[in-house]
A and B are shown apart, each in its own frame.
Chain A
Amino acid sequence: MMALEGIRVLDLCIVLAGPTCGRTLAEYGAEVIKIDSPTRPASDSMWIDVSRGKRSMILDLSKPEGKAVFYRLLATADVVVQNFRKDVADRLGVGYEAVQAAKPDIIYASINAFGYEGPWATRPGFEQNGQAATGIQAREGGPDGPPSLAPFPVNDYGTGIMAAYAVMLALYERSRTGHGQHVDAALAYTGSLLQSPFLIDFAGHQRQDIGGPAARGFSALSLLYQAQDSWLFLEASHHDAWDRLLTLPQFASLAGDSRFASRNLRREHDADLIDGLARIFAEDTVEQWLARLNRAGVPAVRNAALREFYDDPALREAGFVVTREHEALGTVDQVGVPARLSRTPPRMGHPSQPAGAETETILREIGYTAQQIAGLRQLGAIPRS
């Protein structure tokens, strides 16, 4: 049995954050119907990543007949997820109040850029806006440079997961009390959670923001170093890692150096220690260093690049990188599911469908006749071809 078996989700979301919520629910066994508008192009890499495991349907909610289909589907649904700007779902006639009136115990999840309260509640925004508004872009740009993005769409995916968490809490609540509710998650909430170690202020607080293209790490012993061939990350700032490092003959010159004789002195002479270590690491290859460091019990790893992941047997074995045959796109590589649950293991679900693949099937399931479906087609409530 899957954890969310028997739960039906109507997913009205586009781009990344919103669809990630539905994808996560699908991974736990919910039946997710992704409803896209006829004007929405699909099948780029984002679509491939966040539409997997979902049944795809195309429906024009701006047409009364399209909306009627939505409401017939709603009668069979437990959850609705949408990521329109605030007020837009209301204007379309699928806002929380209207939906709840039709289905009183519905769980309705809203995902947007800045949340549903406060002066920016109706503002539009994407990943990059979430990063700009909350301080991530400025930190990544560094003290002297133009703003820059964090390496991954961390707000989008994180917000989708937080929304899925909210939906599951609401399902748990409904199973105990029978009540549904409105839940929301937002890019700016997630951007703030990601920055929680820095998003702090109190009297006398001093913050040091580390970022920018020249940032290599926190300190000499927690830093990226360039070896002969490529880069490694040395993490020797904890416990007895420094002493272990000095057991290696290559670092003998540092052992006798009075500037580095204690933790406090090393902090004081951090720049000198970086210089000293950088000179030593430049002498040999990453592989040589990792063999030595690991033998000495000093944590260090190669600084990886995404392109290496496709050919890493350990990542494939662990299911982080998965290759599957796709109906329309041939062979597709993508990420797997991250959580392991002993009784209700999550699943990737089927590869993403071409947009609208199940429009007719779903209509028939909820009782539309062939003639009625042809009528919807003619009216443009579903695609004509």
Chain B
Amino acid sequence: MEPGALRDLRVLDFGQYIAGPLLGMLLADQGADVIKVERPDGDPMRGHPAFAVWNRGKRSVVLDLHTRQGRQTALNLAEQADVLIENFRPGVADRLGIGAADLTAHNPRLLYVSLPGFGEESPYRDLPAWEPLVGAVTATYVHRRSPNSDGPAFVSLPISSVYAAMVSAAAVGAALFHRERTGEGQRIEVPLHSATFVAIGYRLVRTSANVDVQARADRLGGIVAGAHLCADGRYLYIHGASARERFLPHVLDALGHPEWLQDLLNQQLATQNPDRYQELAGLFRRLMTTKTAREWEDLLGPVAPVNFARTIDEWLEEPHALASEIVVQVDDPQYGPMKQVGLPLRLSRTPGHIRGPAPRLGEHSQEALSLWGDRVASR
């Protein structure tokens, strides 16, 4: 196995549910030695298959932080750690005796990472960090109208949790580089609420000068761009760039209709020659129904940004997803051979790898004191 860039890095992961464990996974995949500290009844996510993904390659140690012994073991481990992860509500880590002030005082090189739902100063600070609560306050559930519904559409992707994990992984990377140069550790805090604003991004940009934020979306419309119903009742998604100079000639060549190029590139066709526009729109729509969505993707995907809207089941089987190890298989003691997400970033010299399946609850508790060497055990 190739060593990852984070070989030799010791991570003490008090994370539970999604964000904290996922940060631990992003570090473990790059070679870090991650000890997952669990309460006696375990991470509440245990029992959900995704637990096995977000906790792969870690070791599990059960500690009851409400007992003196449990707390002492945690403190001993924290003294040996390079990174500590916690995603309790603000103030809880302090109450449990593993707060940032104490731990960084004893271990000045420590990177202490907190991923609360909301920041200390937030009016929502006492709310639990359940993903849908963060989703609702970050305007993730947008009003959508359809034949059978009129209201906000729920989104089941855990956007806020995953963003908190990604943003904090980059923060840990920056802080490690800083520590390598100066010897200084530090406190890192990334509330889920805050991290989601990265994803909101340009959608929030507003200028007093007249820059139309929708301009880009509007000019990408037309006959070719968008979702098209195909022969098998599935949809092909043709990106707007496919309808413009760079890609359209390739698309039309592949479709066998190079003669449509001039009209389709004419942004004013609908107003200048509505009959021709309607005719072309009909021809294009009918053409799309002559092959399956996958057949169109095979034909057009290599030359233009075109993909069929496949289901996640289809993505799990897609030859590209498997060949590029976007989807990998891990032998899990509970679930057997288990397909799951591979490494979401690649480094050529220090590629990292999945260190193993998720641990059983407390699988490594017995060795807790010796896990990180004699210095812990001798205390």
Contact = CB atoms under 8 A, between A and B. Distances in A.
A180 B318 CA distance: 33
Interface string A290-319: 000000000111111110111000100110
B345 A184 contact: yes
A199 interface: yes
B209 interface: yes
Contacts, number: 480
Given A121-B324, A329-B207, A329-B209, A218 B156 contact: yes
Interface stretch (B91-99, B132-140, B258-266): B132-140
Contacts of B53: 196-197, 200
Interface in A134-177: 134-142, 144-148, 150-154, 156-158, 161-173, 175-176
A203 interface: yes
B309 interface: yes
Contact of A151 (B140, B149, B156): B140
A353 B310 CA distance: 40
Contacts of A331: 207-208
Given A165-B345, A169-B173, A335-B200, A202 B50 contact: no
Given A201-B339, A344-B178, A320 B197 contact: yes
A122 interface: yes
B12 interface: no
B376 interface: no
A232 B152 CA distance: 10
Interface residues of A, number: 147
Contacts of B373: none
A141 B263 CA distance: 31
Given A224-B152, A309-B139, A46 B216 contact: yes
Contacts of A137: 227, 237, 309
A135 B175 CA distance: 34
B346 A175 contact: no
Contacts of A151: 139-142, 155
Q: Which of A24, A48, A165, A183 has the largest number of chain B CB atoms within 10 A?
A: A165
B337 A202 contact: yes
Interface in B105-139: 119, 121-124, 127-128, 130, 132-133, 135-139
Contact of B136 (A24, A209, A302, A344): A302
Contacts of B144: 148, 213
A182 B350 CA distance: 10
A306 B200 contact: yes
A172 B180 contact: yes
A317 B118 CA distance: 13
A185 interface: yes
Nearest to A309: B204
B104 to A, nearest CB: 8
B305 interface: yes
Interface in A1-50: 1, 3-4, 16, 20, 24, 28, 43-46, 48-50
7 contacts: A3-B178, A124-B241, A173-B347, A196-B341, A203-B336, A235-B128, A301-B133
Given A50-B202, A235-B128, 12 more contacts: A1-B178, A3-B175, A126-B239, A147-B227, A195-B312, A195-B341, A212-B153, A233-B136, A235-B132, A299-B128, A318-B119, A333-B207
